[in-house]
Amino acid sequence: MPSTFPVFDPASPQAESIRDLFVQVLFISAAIFAIVSGLICIALVKFRESETLPAQDFGSHKKEIAWILGPVIVVIWIAAISIKLVLTVNALPPQYAKGESASDNDVDIFITGHQWWWEVDYADSGIVSANEIHIPTGKKLRVKLQSHDVIHSFWVPQLSRKMDAIPGHSNYIWLEANSPGVYQGRCAEYCGTQHAWMNFQVIAHDPADFASWQQKEQKVAPTPTTGQAAAGAELFMKLTCSQCHAIEGTDAKEDFAPNLTHLASRRELAAGAIAYSPENLRTWLANPQAIKPGCKMPNFKLSDEHLDQLVAYLETLR
Ligand code: CUA
């Protein structure tokens, strides 16, 4: 169940710092607003019918010091908590601080924005996935954000700061979750027709569960040799599917479109446009443009027989 007010329901140290800064600045501003508007109201009521000016007070050092010191303390306080926040969320690799060019050695996950889906590459395990990011809890993962085409913005309100994915320029964020759960992420920068359906989920597991997910994900489903599924596998290579998608253990190796190696164990299709189910997969293949108009997946005008075969094959990709 996604959080209704995710910004107030942080699940990582970074998101907690952002919430704390927001709430503190909100209360400080509210207090100043209340004092100023309260004084204005008092003056309006108390002096509205008086003929003469109220008593004027010139050259009071005490009062001058008070109204200079007050705002200075408030500004220093806000600056201090802002600097603390910046230090907490800053995920630049250490080489940057030394003025060296960054290497990818410190990166745990590479995330690339595409129109309109997210590619997820795990540095250590070599796993490639799409629109679903599995992480272990309690570990600070350095994410390198890139874009394949236009500017996107990676945002998981409960976990992290928002960060743009820019073509030709890499950005870094920490991805970390305090407790297991599913955290909704979105593209937060208008990037074309299907910007609204460029969603993803971060799924945080206990370290032991993450290890078993990783093991499962590194295995590749055997290519079916009999029945509908085998016909579907053949069709997948014969049609142009394999010119955009990759499936580990087959000749399909392109990364223009989402990697389908474990498609059937994903929770959603088409970057969150519909839930994953064999029925929805069939509807999607029958006419992707009806579900996500403008997306890069064409309508292949497949026959019912071909649709059944492809769905039977893709369902084996677990
Ligand atoms: Cu990608 Cu908006």
Q: What is the pLDDT of residues 281-311, one digit of tens each?
A: 999 999 999 999 989 998 989 999 999 999 9
Cβ within 8 Å of residue 203, ≥6 positions away: 132, 133, 134, 135, 181, 182, 183
CA 113 – ligand 1 centroid, Å:
8
For residue 15 the two structure tokens come to 């998101």
**Cβ atoms of 185 and 154 closer than 8 Å:** yes
Extended strands (E) in the chain: 109-114, 117-122, 128-130, 132-136, 141-147, 152-155, 163-165, 171-175, 181-187, 200-205, 268-269, 274-275
CA 165 – ligand 1 centroid, Å:
9
**Residue whose tokens read 């094959």:** 313
For residue 179 the two structure tokens come to 């407790």
Residue 40 three-state SS: helix
CA 190 – ligand 1 centroid, Å:
5
pLDDT-derived band at 165 (thresholds 50, 70, 90) equals very high
- State mean pLDDT over 259-274: 89
Q: What is the pLDDT of residue 37?
A: 97
- Ligand 1: nearest atom to the Cα of 152: 1
**Cβ atoms of 44 and 193 closer than 8 Å:** no
Antiparallel, parallel or unpaired: β 181-187 and 117-122: unpaired
Domains of the chain plus CATH, in order, are: 104-218 (2.60.40.420), 227-315 (2.60.40.420)
Phi-psi region of 236 (alpha: psi -120 to 50; beta: other; left: phi over 0): alpha
For residue 299 the two structure tokens come to 């309508």
Q: Is the peptide bond before 116 cis (omega within 30 degrees of 0)?
A: yes
Q: What is the pLDDT of residue 1?
A: 56
From residue 185, give the alpha-carbon distance in Å to each of 95, 163, 273.
29, 12, 13
CA 187 – ligand 1 centroid, Å:
4
pLDDT-derived band at 2 (thresholds 50, 70, 90) equals low
Looking at ligand 1, which residue's alpha carbon is closest to its atom 1? 152
Residues facing 141 on adjacent strands? 175
> Is the pLDDT reported for residue 47 higher than 80?
yes
Residue 240 three-state SS: helix
113 C-beta closer than 6 A to ligand 1: yes
- Ligand 1: nearest atom to the Cα of 192: 2
DSSP 221: P
**Cβ atoms of 289 and 295 closer than 8 Å:** yes
CA 93 – ligand 1 centroid, Å:
25
